[in-house]
Amino acid sequence: MTAASASKGYLPFEEPILELDQKIRELEELSSVNKMDFSEELRSFREKRGQVIRDIYGKLSSWERVQIARHERRPQVRDYLETLFEEFLELSGDRMFADDLAIVSGLARLGDEKVVVIGQHKGRNVRERHVTNAGSPHPEGYRKALHKMRLAERFGLPVVAMIDTKGAFPGTGAEERGQAIAIAENLREMSLLRVPVVAVVIGEGGSGGALGIGVADRLLMMEYAYYSVISPEGCAAILWKSAAKASQAASALKLTAEDLRGMGVVDEIVPEPLGGAHQDPKAAAELLRSALLRNLKQLKAAGVDELLGERYAKLRSIGAWMENGELVRSGPGVSGSETARGGAEA
């Protein structure tokens, strides 16, 4: 694929879609300029386009899913705040150091539910990405998020967390201001919040940067998002000393929604429109709205003690390892260890 075609928002494996879109645009222009009827030809090309997308997206590799999660036109948190939530009132600052624009937080209404929403925002242009560190929060961002979650607990409001980050900002200043401590405190405090918490990975879910707002009663994941302990490039650099092995690392990391649902890390996969959320952001928002409302309704029906007990059991049950060729799981409700043979990987 040429640089010009890539700049139009098509990924390398989407070359056949680009070619069909060009033909469709040409016919539309001819129809408009020459006042000729190409409706039958356009219908045929659009049907073919839909089938090509189904074929391509039906056999995506893990690395291709990572590319979709990073797509320049993929909906971000501020897009969802406009299409998914109503009456959003932004709340800024961590009351300690600064307002980190990589974290967006505030009060909002989701359908009939009043919620506190927290999300990681990457930005659409160079200026936005500069001020948000491309969605990589500083410690003040995580403290800002925690401050708003405590506010939610005070007023009995559910928390909706939207994850989209390659990871927490790794700069010297962030470390000096307590990056690791800020994330660790969020993990502890989110596990103890006395209100329902639903988190959803809408794009990238990288390392502790994602976990810092990701401890939840229900963890949802968009169909073409990814969630991993490290980026594929970072993993490749460590294991193979070359970021060029990122595609191989993506497969080894088991970072797709299907992989994580199978391992019990993710509770629900939120389907995306044909060709991904970037093809139809409004339809993606409606699918996500339905999933969030359903899970919030279920969680609100539980008492606080039940909620905390189930959250504890969920967090303790995540994790598996291989022992003598067997997959071993442990946690509350499992006597000793529960093993299962097969091709599963830890």
Which residues, in sequence order, are bridge partners of residue 163? 201
The distance of Cα 231 from the centroid of its chain, to the nearest Å, equals 13
Q: Which candidate, 297, 283, 88, 315, places its Cα nearest to that of 214? A: 315
- For residues 53 and 84, state if they share a domain: no
SS (H, E, C) 312-334: HHHHHHCCEEEECCEEEECCCCC
pLDDT for residue 330: 54
- For residues 7 and 101, state if they share a domain: no
CA distance 315 to 321: 16
The pLDDT tens digits for 31-53 are 877 777 788 888 888 899 899 99
The whole domain housing 218 covers 67-301
Check if the beta carbon of residue 286 is closer than 8 Å to that of residue 303: no
Check if the beta carbon of residue 163 is closer than 8 Å to that of residue 199: yes
Domains in the chain, number: 2
- For residues 189 and 264, state if they share a domain: yes
The pLDDT tens digits for 198-239 are 999 999 999 899 999 999 999 999 999 999 999 999 999 999
Q: Which candidate, 86, 75, 73, 68, places its Cα nearest to that of 119? A: 75
Please enumerate, as own/partner, the contacts of 14-20 that have beta carbons within 8 Å and a separation of 24 or more. Answer: 14/56, 16/52, 16/56, 17/49, 17/52, 17/53, 17/56, 17/275, 20/45, 20/48, 20/49, 20/52
CATH code at position 184:
3.90.226.10
DSSP state of 70: T
Q: Which candidate, 193, 8, 180, places its Cα nearest to that of 116? A: 193
| End residue of a domain, out of 19, 35, 59 | 59
DSSP state of 256: B
- For residues 94 and 135, state if they share a domain: yes
The pLDDT tens digits for 59-72 are 999 999 999 999 99
Q: Which two tokens stand for residue 57?
A: 């997206």
CA distance 40 to 57: 26
Higher per-residue confidence, 7 vs 171: 171
- For residues 250 and 285, state if they share a domain: yes
Which residues, in sequence order, are bridge partners of residue 161? 118, 199
β-strand pairing of 103-110 with 86-90: antiparallel
Has residue 308 been placed in a domain? no
Q: Token pair 């990391």 is at which residue? A: 253
β-strand pairing of 113-120 with 197-206: unpaired
- For residues 10 and 73, state if they share a domain: no
Has residue 278 been placed in a domain? yes
pLDDT for residue 8: 67
- For residues 75 and 143, state if they share a domain: yes
Has residue 265 been placed in a domain? yes
- For residues 53 and 72, state if they share a domain: no
What pTM was estimated for this model as a whole? Answer: 0.87
pLDDT for residue 1: 43
- For residues 265 and 145, state if they share a domain: yes
H helices of 212-280, in order, are 232-239, 246-253, 257-262
The pLDDT tens digits for 268-312 are 999 999 999 999 999 999 999 999 999 999 999 999 999 999 999
